[in-house]
Structure 1
């Protein structure tokens, strides 16, 4: 036998033996963990994800654009699988599975293979794109900063809130609050994170933003969404505007770090504290590249969250007059609106929690299996057996559907009803209420976000006597991006009686 043929046979034999060993090892793993099959969206007849394409076509012919995720859970149970683009996807809304993914077995699930290609041109390496020791290092860098009470400067944030209130028409004319809340979030977050506000609320025209950063960020964000959805075909993504926008933003961040270094040199007292995140980071690490990446890893997930939550709150307040009156009476009872005084109120936090329950800005979160592992439940005829999760599987955890569990929240889970929180205790809702995720990946800015939302809601409710819905569409129509917002905005009328 010629040498070339012998080598080819040996290579083929070796590859076959490796595959056999892998198959036997995996089968033993499945048996040892008593794993059983979980339901499939198309009954298990997968062909490179073409079954999903066929199903979408079938729904379209029947006048249905899609089968919403909540309907899929209703048909298949709290955990099911599908195949798309050669990739296995497991969807779950089961609290036990979500706890396993984000806490108990968090080391088996990660972000890097799923997000790094899509996000790194903008955010680099950090808590959003890294796993393992690199993730722990990035998280340790920001954890003490967000735990310091001096990081929140109420007076500075109030300046932005007051600018927004001054832009609100209070004569009953129709206005969409969503773009204004987005600008409030943009102005306050850029000042808090980078030390320089883009000042979008200073514009006389409510649709004009006189800064290159917002436009570049929106383009970059859309590009990241495209790259994320392309999964293993993401290398085909070509978008000149995406790369130009990433460079524009990274240059802004680099200049912000340089200005922070200059402020540090001019500081009178070394012990003088700053509420600006970049100022704190340069005290924590000398690595300028790490500082820039950290700033963007904080800005990207936090930029839209407060604006969307505020929009959703006022979306529901405009449709629930009794809640508005009760909330307004509670706020008017305060002598002064501060973090401390708001902490003593109950109903405003019921309103916030109910909005986070029904319309969480982060409605679902994905992870990828870094190795063969299991989920504790969802397999077998009764759906209570462990499920085998092969390496490379994408796990889609639906917080939105988790928040609609009837045995926890009652039979009217589709209704926005803040009073349900009079009988609910956050301490009893571990892994059943996750608007800010949980476990090692819980949002470090959770307290900051909740404080700012309560402060803004209280200020506006005090400044306005009445709110009316001006949107002919009554129901909440979600728009799914990297975050989930109202597709129709928040079209309302505001009234203020002259003193």
Structure 2
């Protein structure tokens, strides 16, 4: 006899419930065995009455002020340990939070194969960034990494000629219309910095800048297209950041038409550069075939000589979608990482007496106030030799790492080396599928790792050759270490050098918590209100 619709539905529900409970029993047995074998213990654990991450969503939406401090910081303080877990009804595994260097090293390096990003990362990032080095696991990630890595060779990263053009435009914007006393009017400099890093990153990645700093100087059509891309990119990145915070409710952002439209526009804009590079590649291969010998791209027309990064990618793959996704992911990292590093650095300099004077003295000693003779000394290597400049960047990345909260998912039953037991020192048995969030922001500010002044911006802590190991991972670590680290550091160092040559004083007139952070995937200040004094005005 055929089952009725209601009977079939009840059967499916009962089967699902049975499958869930059988899975829970099997998981319990596996973890019990693993716990016994590895002398594991449970971490400090909180039970929430809200199911499926709903409590986390309600709490985050109710937070006012600094989300990282008032959410994660408060949780770590309430548990009293640097690793804890949260269990929720209807969720098969607990969520583990850790700020322990040993656990981070285990996930990112020692037991790298036991941990992945999991399907949730692709669902949250995918509509905007597609599939690539920041969203994939396994063979797809390995291929993406292999495709991207050669494009970040030192030769490309150390070329500062294109950067100078965009920095000059930034200086013009920041220093325009000074008063008779040489001071500019206070303004939020973040929009200027983000446009600069967008122009610089697209120049490096696409071989052609979107010229967002020149919107008022270009034709109406070009300006409107650039502005639309800039606004869409901001909307999409903000949406991805919100997805990461609200966890399993990320689909709420996907339902917003503005987010979907922004993602579509960014992809359409980026793929134009991919098509240009593919056309050049096809023409080059055609000429090689006709000439029966390799054709040197460097001897081609200027149009073909643009975009070393994109040309390198095209040599590795001619898949249009793959190229677009790789560019989108690297643009996302290249624009925001450098922009926030510069924004936080300037804010810290403005609020640390004597810091800007020290930076400017070092820069003038190394390179002079400006001119052909001093400019010839500026290079990747000489910027690395500016001790206080490099220490300042390291300290800013300690206080404000680009990604404050990152996550992994256990790909198999495994063990974290510490965080369990009454004193938090025993290993923790972790079930397959368990999400573990490691909080770089909290770890970088632990007083027991960095001293009682861990919450203070002090570049001199790096002057004695400090080597903190896995306590300091602003660019991640292990096989997934960020390939663009040197690009971001070099661009930031060069920009600060040029700023220090141009302006002899910098001030933030705001009062209150000027270091309050905005909500997003990247840790960024809510605003950076600054005024500058031109060095050429006495």
Q: TM-score, normalised by structure 2?
A: 0.82
Equivalent in the alignment of 2:146? 140
Equivalent in the alignment of 2:121? 115
C-alpha spacing 1:38/1:342, structure 2 compared with 1 (3 Å): same
Distance 1:304 1:67 in 2: 23
For structure 1, the residue ranges without an aligned partner over 5 or more in a row are none
Give 1:327 deviation, angstroms: 0.8
SS in 2 for 1:479: coil
C-alpha spacing 1:241/1:74, structure 2 compared with 1 (3 Å): closer
Determine whether 1:24 maps to 2:41.
no
Determine whether 1:362 maps to 2:378.
no
Name whichever of 254-263 and 64-73 sits farther off.
64-73
Give 1:270 deviation, angstroms: 1.8
**181, 185, 197: which one aligns with 2:193:** 181
C-alpha spacing 1:65/1:244, structure 2 compared with 1 (3 Å): closer
SS in 1 for 2:406: strand
Name whichever of 258-267 and 357-366 sits farther off.
258-267
1:47-76 Cα distance to aligned partner (Å, 9 max, x none): 52689569959x989xx9984423432332
C-alpha spacing 1:488/1:86, structure 2 compared with 1 (3 Å): farther
Equivalent in the alignment of 1:254? 271
Give 1:21 deviation, angstroms: 4.0
1:249-272 Cα distance to aligned partner (Å, 9 max, x none): 111121101112344467795252
Equivalent in the alignment of 2:370? none
Contact 2:516 2:526 in 1 (8 A): yes
1:186-221 Cα distance to aligned partner (Å, 9 max, x none): 11111211222221111349xx98532111112222
**313, 316, 331: which one aligns with 2:345:** 313
Contact 2:132 2:140 in 1 (8 A): yes
Give 1:39 deviation, angstroms: 0.8
Distance 2:18 2:513 in 1: 63
1:441-479 Cα distance to aligned partner (Å, 9 max, x none): 111000111111110000010011211221123541111
Give 1:421 deviation, angstroms: 1.1
Distance 1:131 1:232 in 2: 20
C-alpha spacing 1:265/1:48, structure 2 compared with 1 (3 Å): closer
C-alpha spacing 1:136/1:54, structure 2 compared with 1 (3 Å): closer
Number of equivalences: 489
1:148-202 Cα distance to aligned partner (Å, 9 max, x none): 4135431111100000011123432212222111111111111211222221111
Distance 1:176 1:251 in 2: 30
Q: Which has the higher contact order (CA 8 A, sep 6+)?
A: 2
Determine whether 1:479 maps to 2:518.
yes
Distance 2:358 2:15 in 1: 75
C-alpha spacing 1:200/1:365, structure 2 compared with 1 (3 Å): same
Equivalent in the alignment of 1:238? 255
Contact 1:314 1:490 in 2 (8 A): no
C-alpha spacing 1:24/1:261, structure 2 compared with 1 (3 Å): closer
**86, 93, 96: which one aligns with 1:82:** 86
1:302-360 Cα distance to aligned partner (Å, 9 max, x none): 22010110011110111123111111010001233322221222111111111111112
Determine whether 1:287 maps to 2:313.
no
Q: TM-score, normalised by structure 1?
A: 0.88
C-alpha spacing 1:82/1:274, structure 2 compared with 1 (3 Å): same
Distance 1:18 1:85 in 2: 15
